[in-house]
A and B are shown apart, each in its own frame.
Chain A
Amino acid sequence: MKVYFLPDEKLKELIKVLKGLGKVFWSREREITSARESRTKIKIEELEEDAIQDYRIPGFRSYDSFKTFLLPLPSKVAEYPDDEWIDIKNIKQKTVLLGLKACDLCAFSLLDKVFIEDPEFIDPFYKRRRQTLILITSDCTRAGKSCFCNLLGRTPYVTSNFDLNLSEIKDGYLIESGSEIGENILKNLSPVESNEEQIQERDKNRKNVMEELTAQNADFVEAFSNPDILVSEGYKSEEGWNLGRTCVSCGACTNVCPVCYCFTLFDRSQGEGKKSKRFRVWDSCQFKGFSQMAGGLNPRFPLMEQFKNRYYHKFFRFHERYNEYKCTGCGRCIDNCLGDIDMREVLSGIKIEREKVNG
C-alpha cells in the first residue's frame, strides 16, 4: 500500500471528509482545571466544529477506552413478549473513530474473537456495530507512564486492520490506507506521495517510542514471558498476590479496560400488561454480585479471589481458548486504580514468589 504525505494544514480537510461519512468521535487533549491542579487529559469526545482548526492527534492513548462504541451502555437486546422490535435494524449510521492507537485496535481484534469470530456464537448486536465503524488510527509519538504494550509483544503503531493510519512527522502526517473505505477517503484528499526520507523519519519515530517502552518496562520482561503459566501455576501463591491486598473492589479497572467485556442481562418492566425490556450492561468480576448465586454461595470469595479472577481470565482462560492474552498493555487499569495496583508489579510479585518457593 502506498504511503502519502498530508501536510498539517490538510488535516482539517481530512476531518471534513470524515464528517461527511458519519458521526465522528476523536481522541483529543483537554486541559482539565480544578482547584487542586491543572493537567492535560486525553479524552474521547464527539467532534466539535470549532476545534477542528487547532486539532492535533494526541501522542498516546486516551484516558477512557473505545469499547463503548461496540458495547454501549446500556444496550437494549430484547423487548418481550413480542419481538417486533430489533435493535440492530436501527444501527445504520456510520461512526468514525479518529485517533485510535495500536492498543485500541488490538482491543477491537480481541473483542472480535469473542463476539464475532467464535463459531459457537456470533453476537448480532456487536457484529452490526462493528460493521458501522470507520477506524482512523495513529502512531504513538510517546509512551504513557503506564504503557506496556511491548511486554505483550505488541507495538505502539499499527500495520493492519485499520481504514486509515496517520503517522506524525515533521510538518504533517504520513497517511496510509488499509481498506477500500480508506482508499476512497484518500482519493478525496489527493495527497502527494511520501518520499524515502519521510518514511525513514516515521520508522525512526516508531523505533524511538519502542525504545522508550523497552526502557520503562525493562524490569517486567521476565514476568511477562509466559503470563499464562505464571498466573495458573502461581494461582495459589499466598504471598505472590500480596500487591492485590489494596484492592477495594471498585471495578474501575474493568470499566476502563478496553477488553473487559463481561456483562449481565438486566430486565425492566414497563408496567402492568406492557412490554418488558432487556438490557445488556457491563458487569465487573471485581464486584461480589458478579459470581454470587441465589442462596448466597459465592465461588469467588473472599475479595482476593475476585482480584485473581481478572488476571486469570486475561492471561490464562482467554489464552486457553483464543491463544491470545486478553490484555493490550494500554495501562488504563494502572492509571485508574484506587488501590494503586500496577498489573506489571503484580505479575512480577507472583514471579518472584514462585522463584523463592521453587528455589
Chain B
Amino acid sequence: MDNIYYPFEAEVTDIKKETPTIKTFHFKLAKPVTFKAGQFMQLTVPGIGEAPFTPSSRPGEVQEMEITILKTGRVTDVLHNEVKVGDRLGLRGPFGKGYPIDKFIGKEILIIGGGVGLAPLRSLIYALFDRVDDLKKISICYGTKTTKDQCFKDEYDKWAAMPKTSLNLTIDVLCPDWEGTVGVVTCLLEKDRLDVDVRNSYTVSCGPQIMLKFVTIKLMEVGFKPEQIYLSMNRRMSCGVGKCGRCNIGPYYLCKDGPDLCYADIKDYPNVFD
C-alpha cells in the first residue's frame, strides 16, 4: 500500500525570478505524475515542512513541473532564501478535483487572477489553449499591485495572440512604465468594459481572499449567477485527503472537493470570505 504521507523526490532544475517576491521553481520528478489543472501538490522542504501549491505548468502526465511561489511564510521563506538548483525536495499529490474543464466546453471562459493567483490559472490557461477549438472565447483579466509584481510577463504576447483569446491587465498603483488600466482587478469587470456573453459563460478566479470576495460581488452585479462562478479558495491545509479537519467551507474540504469550488455550493456557509 502506498503511504499517502510519504513525499517522493523532486529535484530543482531551475529557479526563475518572476517578481521581487515570486519565483517559479522547475522540478524534475522521481516518478511521472498525472494532474489536472487546478489540482494541487504538497511541496516538502526536508525537515522544514510542507505547503500546498497548485502547479503553474501545463497539466497532463508529466515528468517535470513548475510551481510558482510567493515568499510569505515559514516554508516559502526557506524556498526563496535557501533552496538552490540541484536541491532535492519532496512532493505529494496531486490532490483535489481541479477545474471542471468539461463543463466549460462550448462556453466563454472569463479568467480573473490577482498577484500570484495567476500561477494556477496559467496551468488552466494552457489546458484551455489545448482545447481552444471547443471553446467560444477565453478572456483573461489580471491585476497586480504594480508592473513589478506581474508574473509570467514574457508570455503575455503569446497568450494575447492565441485565437479567441483576450488579455486585460491592470495595476493598482500608477507606475511610470505603464500605459494601461489602473485600478483593482474588478475595474476590468465593469459592464461597459466586459466583452463577455454573461449568460453563456463561466468564470474562474484565483487570488487573495479579499479579491475573490469583491470579484464575486462584481460578477453578481454584472449578471453572473453563483452557478457560473468558480473560485480557487484559500485555506490552511495539511493532510491533502480531507482528514486533518481544517480546510473546510461548510461540509466541503478544499483539499479533496476543491480547491476550486462553485460559489453556488458554498455561498450559504459561514466564513466563506471573512
Contact = CB atoms under 8 A, between A and B. Distances in A.
A77 B5 CA distance: 6
A80 B271 contact: no
B100 interface: no
Interface in A81-135: 81, 83, 86, 114-115, 118, 120-121, 123-124
B3 A124 contact: yes
Contacts of A292: 236
A332 interface: no
Contacts of B47: 267-270, 276
Given A263-B244, A269-B47, A276-B46, A290 B250 contact: no
A8 interface: no
B1 interface: yes
Contacts of A77: 3, 5-6
B270 A264 contact: no
A263 B236 contact: no
A236 B238 CA distance: 28
B245 A120 contact: no
B50 A293 contact: no
B243 A121 contact: yes
Given A291-B235, A294-B51, A297-B209, A235 B251 contact: no
A262 B7 contact: no
Contacts of B81: none
B246 A285 contact: yes
A270 B5 CA distance: 18
Interface in B1-48: 1, 3-7, 9, 44, 46-48
Contacts of A265: 5, 49-50, 238-239, 244
A202 interface: no
Q: Tell me which of B208, B234, B238, B245 has the highest count of chain A C-beta atoms within 10 A of its own C-beta.
A: B245
A261 interface: yes
B246 A291 contact: yes
Interface in A310-335: 312-313, 316-317, 320-321
A123 B243 contact: yes
Contacts of A120: 241-242, 256
Interface string A227-250: 000000001100000000000000
Contacts of A269: 46-48
Contacts of B88: 81
Interface string A246-278: 000000000000000111111111100000101
B80 to A, nearest CB: 12
A270 B100 CA distance: 42
A46 interface: no
A283 interface: yes
A292 B271 CA distance: 13
Contacts of B50: 265, 267
Nearest to A122: B1
A199 interface: no
Given A121-B241, A294-B73, A267 B251 contact: no
B5 to A, nearest CB: 4
A270 B47 CA distance: 7
Nearest to B271: A299
A295 interface: yes
Contacts of B51: 294
B74 interface: yes
Given A120-B242, A305-B271, 4 more contacts: A114-B243, A121-B243, A299-B235, A317-B248
The 6 closest A-B pairs by CB, nearest first: A269-B47, A294-B73, A262-B245, A320-B251, A77-B5, A78-B6
22 contacts: A81-B46, A81-B90, A86-B3, A121-B243, A123-B243, A124-B3, A235-B270, A263-B238, A263-B244, A265-B239, A265-B244, A267-B49, A268-B47, A280-B5, A283-B238, A285-B245, A290-B236, A291-B246, A294-B75, A299-B235, A312-B270, A317-B248
